[in-house]
Structure formats: C-alpha cells, structure tokens
Structure 1
Amino acid sequence: MTGALFLTATVAGVISVPLIAPDNGPHARQAGALMVLIMAGAIALIPTTLFPVLRRYGEARALGYVAARLLEVVMLLPAAAGPLMAVAAPSPPVEALVRTEERWGQPASTLFFCLGAVLFYTLLWRARLVPRWLSGWALVAIAPYVAGAVIVLFGVVDPASPVNSAMYAPLALNELVLAVWLLARGFAVRAAAEVPQRPAPVPQGV
C-alpha cells in the first residue's frame, strides 16, 4: 500500500507542475489542480501506513515525519483550490490569492516535504528497512531539492522552470525507485521484525 501511495503521489506531482503554471489556460490549470488533490490525498495517507513500522525504530522521529507530511498537505491544498476558484469565480482577490500561494505556499510545502524526507530516510538508513544505497541516495538528493525550494521562494526562478525541475529530479526519481522497491520487495522482513527488547532479568540466587 505504501509503495502504491508513493507512486501515486510522485507521478501526480510531476504531472501537476507544468499544468498549474500561471500562463496556462483554465482547463490545463483545472487538470493540474486535480493532480495536486490526488497527490495531497496520497501524501496524507503515506505516514498513516508507515507509522506502525517506523515507530519501532524511533517514535519521536516517526511522529515528526507524520506531522511534517500533514503540514505539507495543508500547504498544498491552496495550490488545488486556487485554480479552481479562479475559473469558478474569477476576480482580483482570487487572482491575488493564487499568486500568493504560488509565491509562498508551494515552496513552503516543499520545505515541509524535505523535513519529512530527512526524518523518514534517516529512519530507513538506521533500521535498514531498505538497502542503504536507496536511503543514502535520498539523503543526498534532499540538498538540491531544498535549494530549489529556496530559489523559488526568493523569486530567482519559476516553479515550472527547467532549472528547478532539474534540482527536484534526483529525489523525485528516488521516490519512484522506492515505490517500485516497496511494491516488489517491501521492507526487509528481518529488520521489520527486530523490535528492540529489554534484556530479560537475571534470576537472583536464593
């Protein structure tokens, strides 16, 4: 289930980026908004399916991952609502709301995504639930993803620019590979079963 949700979120997110660009027509932006809604729904469900496993290897980090992903969803929802409102009730206030979301909401959601990714992949690295090359790849790829969000936040590039897409690509590709890995192999059975146990008390002599 987690693999399918990762696959859905990543594919929908990639499709939504060019569609919700400000210079697109209303129909393209509506389609992009639908993709954002699909992505947000998948993202909201991912930590729910992962928490029962991740909590065994660090409950505080697992809870932090859940919180970061839910905040990411909160920041994403205006990206879906804005284009729909602009088509249904076009007006200067709605257009201003859409521009504000594009300027601040999308980069903020990306930063929460990166925070969640750091917590998630460090847990995977420590617990060896997937091969370390896969979690290590993600931890390295987070750096350009954060940089892409920052340069969008400060207006250096457009969210749909080729430069920004190139900076997002390594982590997006990693999540696709992770999704396929989880669908095909799942978490490492031995690692998932090795819940830390307290040592048994030593019997005392009479």
Structure 2
Amino acid sequence: MTSTLPTASAAHARTDRTRNHARAAGAFYLITFVASIPALLLIAPVLDHADYITGAGDDTRVLWGCLLDLISALACIGTAVAVFPVVKRTSEALALGFVTARLVEAAVILIGVVSLLSVITLRQDLTGATGQDAAALFTTGKALVAVRDWTFLLGPGFMPCFNALLFGTLLYRSRLVPRLIPVLGFIGAPLLLTSGIATFFGHNDQLSAWSFLATLPIAAWELAVGIYLLVKGFRPAAPAAGQA
C-alpha cells in the first residue's frame, strides 16, 4: 500500500503537467483562428483600394486588424512553445523544427503587419499631398501592400504545410492524440503547398476557389488539434505523456 501511493501521486503530477501544456497549446491554436479571420476582413480596405494611402480611409479599422494579426503571430509561437516539453520526448529534432517553423511564420506575419502600419503612418503624415508627391505616395503605398501580399503567401500560405508535417509526425508517432487528427494535417499539407506554389508562379490567386478548398484540410487539422488539446489534453497512456 505504501509503495503504490507515491507512484500514483507521481503519475497524477505528470498528467497535470502535460494537461497544462495541452490546454495552453489548444488555447493558442484557437486564438489564431479567432484573431486571423476577422483580421483579414478588417484590413480589407487597405488591400482592396489602391488609392487608400492618398485618399480617405478607415485607419482605426485597419489598426484593429493589424493588432489581431499581431496577436495571431504571438499565439502561433505559443502553440509550439507550449507542446515542446512534451513532444521533444518523441523527437527533439522534430520538436525544435516545429518551434523554429512557428517562429518563422510569426516573423513573416509581423513583416506584413509593419508594412500596413507604414501605409497608415504615411497616409496620416502626408495627407493632402498633390502632384508628384501624391504620385510617389501612391507608388509607395502599392509597394507596401505588395509586401504584405507576399508575406501572406509565405507566412500563412507556406509555413502551415511544414508545421503540419512536423507537429503531425510528432503526434502520430507519440499517439498523444487520436491518429486521425494528424492524418488531416498529412492530407492538407501537400494540397496547401501545391496551391501556394501555383500562386507563387502566378498560376493561381490566393483568394481563388482552389486556394480556399486547398486550405480547408489544414484548417480542419489545426481546429481539431486545438479543440482536442483544450478539451481532452494529451492521452495519458501515450509514452511521451508519461515521460514529460
């Protein structure tokens, strides 16, 4: 009796620790969803109107969108940092790769945010510009929006493919979640990557029907893993959960 109590207590403590990591990761995954989708709608004016920088614009709306993108980028990093202590038991190299990929994705998103904030700053500081000044301002605004468009492709467009392969492999090997969940990532990664490459070479548009369909499996994978980790946590029977 006395020999089993410490063992049960230690097992319970390990489960609690992995539970906290899983809850944090699940919450961060869901935050990326909650923040990124409305952000895309809020920044639409600066993306859709070429003369935004020289004309009237709803700067407050765009600023809110940029703030949500910032939150999404930080949550992106949080998803990897939260699970690293657990999944590194399966493969430290893959776990470190996942953290690095998330850092790259967040950094690229932030570059896009800075470019849009620069558009707002120039519009406010140089309002009323005319003639050649207005023409130069218009060209600068177009260039900054183009930077943001490329960051949207290289960040949320490309990097989720590598994230799904890295994190999905860790979850599939460790059985920390049902294997159907990482399989969604394995299906979605090549589809999204194919769509992104086609867009990169000008054969597809990021807002086309094909891009939307190619994004669905990856979105389903990230939503599924976020909800599962937040509600259920890591499966306690998995070896990685016991070693954490």
TM value normalised by structure 1: 0.85
Larger radius of gyration: 2
Aligned-pair RMSD on alpha carbons? 2.1
Aligned pairs (5 A) from 1:16-35: 16-21=39-44, 22-23=47-48, 26-27=57-58, 28-35=61-68
The structure whose RCO (Cα within 8 Å, separation 6+) is larger is 2
Range that drifts further, 37-46 or 19-28? 19-28
Q: Which amino acid aligns with 2:152?
A: Q
Amino acid at match of 2:40: V
Equivalent residue, structure 2, for 1:84: 117
Instruction: Report which stretch shifted further, 92-101 or 82-91.
Output: 92-101
Moved more, 104-113 or 134-143: 104-113
**Paired residues for 1:41-190 under 5 Å:** 41-90=74-123, 91=137, 92-102=139-149, 104-109=150-155, 110-190=157-237
Kept in 1, the 8 Å contact 2:176–2:235? The answer is yes
1:18–1:147 Cα change, 3 Å: farther
Deviations, residues 140-171 of structure 1 (Å, cap 9, x unaligned): 11121112222222233332333322211221
- Matches of 1:167 and 1:29, distance apart in 2: 27
CA spacing shift, 1:67–1:153, aligned 2, 3 Å: same
Provide the C-alpha distance between the structure 1 equivalents of 2:42 and 2:191, rounded to a whole number of angstroms. 23
| 3-state secondary structure, aligned to 1:56 | coil
Cα distance, 1:18 vs structure 2: 4.0
Q: What one-letter code is carried by the residue in structure 1 that aligns with 2:48?
A: D
Q: Hey, what's the Cα distance between the residues in 2 that align with 1:19 and 1:158?
A: 20
- Alpha carbons 1:57, 1:123 under 8 Å: kept: yes
Letter aligned with residue 59 of structure 1: E
1:15 maps onto 2:62 in alignment:
no
Q: C-alpha distance in 2, partners of 1:60/1:126? A: 14
Greater CA deviation, 122-131 or 7-16?
7-16
Which segment is superposed worse, 186-195 or 125-134?
186-195
- Unpaired runs of at least 5, structure 2: 1-23, 124-136
Instruction: Give the AA of the match of 1:107.
Output: L
* Distance verdict in 2 for CA 1:150–1:20, change over 3 Å: farther
Q: C-alpha distance in 2, partners of 1:101/1:180?
A: 30
Return 156-165 or 174-183, whichever deviates more.
156-165
In 1, the alpha carbon distance for the partners of 2:187 and 2:235 equals: 22
Cα distance in structure 2, aligned partners of 1:16 and 1:159: 16
Q: Which runs of 5+ in 1 are unaligned?
A: 197-206
What percent identity do the matched residue pairs reach?
32
Q: How far did 1:13 drift?
A: 2.2
Name 1:193's counterpart in structure 2. 241
Query: CA offsets per residue over residues 103-127 of structure 1, 9 Å max, x none?
Result: x322221322321221100010000
Q: How far off its partner does 1:89 sit?
A: 0.9
Counterpart-to-counterpart distance in 1, 2:27 and 2:151: 26
